[in-house]
Amino acid sequence: MTSTLTDSAVVRERRGPALWLRLNRPEVFNGINQDILDGLSAGVDAADADPEVRVVVLAAEGKAFCAGADLRYARSLANTPAPDGAASAGNAFLHRVRAVLDRLETFRKPVIAAVNGFAVGGGLELLLVCDLVVASRAAKLGDGHALYGQIPGGGASVRLVRRLGLSTAKHLMFTGELHPAERFLGTDLVVDVVDPDELGPAVDRLAEIIACRSPIGLAAMKRLANDAHDTPLPAAVTRELEASALHERSADWLEGITAFAEKRTPDFPGN
């Protein structure tokens, strides 16, 4: 099934079991503004409400995936009081960015990034909250904040270190340089790099594979994996054991072992 819903900042496209959310401000290299954030939030709401959606894919229109925050928009907010008077509108915008990124990172369904062009600054931060990143050979990735005297506000200084290690993260942040996506293949950032015309089909195939798995099983594994960085090993293993025991009460668990015994492909109901 394929269907498309378009608003001013995000194109929402249903492709089989996946909901594709395409950033749709190509004239400014998909710079992040309030409309982009609202579109992403609405897209996640739609994916959450639809049990037929098993995977979310973040992609982009035009030649860039995302150039980060729209700096013209950010500048216009810098000295504008927030509605509640507690902080500048710029600070409120950063808090909104964090809320959207945190939601994507903890969303119960797998999130794949399909990176067609450069992803820099906030665009890289968007990739860092995705579960899997598939990139075109034409894609270039980097932090970029240092180029314009900025510092990360969407989590890059933390998530880059956790994904790539301290020295590599510092190199990306200090230089602001962009690097071909292939440089990150085999790291904890990019899982596959394909020819530009193969990006869509490659992500479709990956989404189809993931969509065949137990959705509640995937949600549990995502939660456990995300928490693994911050949890001591004994506590993390105990948490996994508890989650496994709980999962054994589910219809998906029973369907899996029944399908194995009957030598057929399981059809997980998602509960």
Each residue of 142-163: pLDDT tens digit?
A: 999 999 899 999 999 999 999 9
Q: Which domain holds residue 222?
A: 215-261
Mean pLDDT of the chain: 93
Q: Do 197 and 227 lie in a common domain?
A: no
Q: How many domains does the chain have?
A: 2
Four-residue CA torsion sign, 191, 197, 202, 203:
positive
Claim to verify: residue 234 and residue 155 sit in the same structural domain: no
On the question of pLDDT at 86 being above 70, the answer is no
Provide the CATH number for the domain around residue 13: 3.90.226.10
Write down the pTM of the prediction.
Answer: 0.92
Asked whether residue 266 is assigned to any structural domain, the reply reads: no
Q: Which pLDDT value is given to residue 70?
A: 83
Same domain assignment for residues 13 and 84: yes
As a whole number of angstroms, the distance between CA 22 and CA 62 comes to: 10
Tens digits of residue pLDDT in 33-85: 999 999 999 999 999 999 999 999 999 999 999 999 887 777 676 666 656 55
In a domain, 94, yes or no: yes
Last residue of a domain, one of 196, 211, 226: 211
Strands, E, within the chain: which ranges?
A: 2-6, 10-15, 18-23, 55-60, 111-115, 119-120, 132-136, 140-142, 179-180, 192-194
Same domain, 53 and 181: yes
Domain assignment of residue 267, yes or no = no
Shared domain check, 158 and 98: yes
Q: Is residue 270 part of a domain?
A: no
Residue 268 lies in a domain: no
Residue with tokens 């314009």: 148
> 230 by DSSP, 3-state: which?
helix
The identity of residue 78, as a single letter, is A
**Are residue 177 and residue 256 in the same domain, yes or no?**
no
The count of other CB atoms within 10 Å of the CB of residue 59 is: 21
Whether the CB-CB separation of 216 and 252 falls below 8 Å is answered with yes
Instruction: Kindly indicate the confidence band of residue 91, based on its pLDDT and cuts at 50, 70 and 90.
Output: confident
Q: What are the tens digits of pLDDT across the range 3-16?
A: 555 558 999 999 99
How large a percentage of the chain has pLDDT more than 70?
93
Q: Are residues 178 and 227 in the same domain?
A: no
Residues 227 and 249 in one domain: yes
| pLDDT (average), residues 103-132 | 97
Question: What would the pLDDT profile of 163-221 be if each residue is shown by its tens digit?
Answer: 999 999 999 999 999 999 999 999 999 999 999 999 999 999 999 999 999 999 999 99
